[in-house]
Structure 1
Amino acid sequence: MKKVYFLQTCDTCRRILKEVNTESFERQEIKANNITVAQLEEMYVLSGSYEALFNKRAKLYKAMDLKNQELSEADYRQYLLDEYTFLKRPVFIINDEIFIGNSKKEVEKVKEKIG
């Protein structure tokens, strides 16, 4: 399975999707089509942590003053389900591997994986 979760309004996501050949990928725009509990659970199993999927750079993270709170995995899970902006993006799932976020290193790993 090849899938990518992204945000169409995010310049970084758009740039990465141009760089990476996603023709054979199922593409899900997370603002128009929110992630489901099942999809989040699948990402959790592959990543091992909700925190790894959580975007601590989101404006809402600062606005809600979450940086000054101790969040549990259950908290991260709930925030990810409640608000699409909390998903660190893009998220690529290629077979049984997950690639989270937009760091150069992560994007290079995706490129290597899909050849």
Structure 2
Amino acid sequence: MKKVYYLSTCNTCMRILNELTLPNDFKLQDIKTEPITAHQLEEMKNLSDSYESLFSKRARLYKELDLKNKTLSEEDYKNYILEYYTFLKRPVIIHNNQIFIGNSKKVVDAAKKAIHE
């Protein structure tokens, strides 16, 4: 599978997409206009080993819901991501059986390398 889950209103996501120069066989999914499904999230979890690794603790809603003071289970992370797209750490880049989560330079560089090998 070759796919990118991103947010078109996020400048960082858009900058990274431009940086990656993706081949035409990649499918792009704007999670705001085309929400992720439980099946898609399950696929991401299977590649990353946990829902927590896909969960963004930097989202404004994380503070608003006071989640930092709660103990969240894997099921909680899954449900929050499915309910609020802002909780998905973005972008999520899937290249064959590799997953690259988030926007750190290290992750983006690794994704670039894998895509253009």
Q: TM-score range by the shorter chain?
A: over 0.9
How many matched pairs? 115
**Counterpart-to-counterpart distance in 2, 1:18 and 1:24:** 16
1:112 aligns with 2:79: no
1:5 aligns with 2:5: yes
State percent identity of aligned pairs: 61
**Counterpart-to-counterpart distance in 2, 1:36 and 1:26:** 15
- CA RMSD, Structure 1 to Structure 2 (Å): 0.6
Letter in 2 for 1:83: Y
Shift of 1:114: 1.0
SS at match of 1:109: helix
SS at match of 1:31: coil
SS at match of 1:108: helix
**Counterpart-to-counterpart distance in 2, 1:27 and 1:76:** 23
Q: Which runs of 5+ in 1 are unaligned?
A: none
Hey, what does 1:25 align to over in structure 2?
26
Q: Which runs of 5+ in 2 are unaligned?
A: none
TM-score (ref. length: structure 2): 0.96
Runs of 4 or more consecutive aligned structure 1 residues displaced over 6 Å after TM superposition: none
SS at match of 2:93: strand
Letter in 1 for 2:11: D
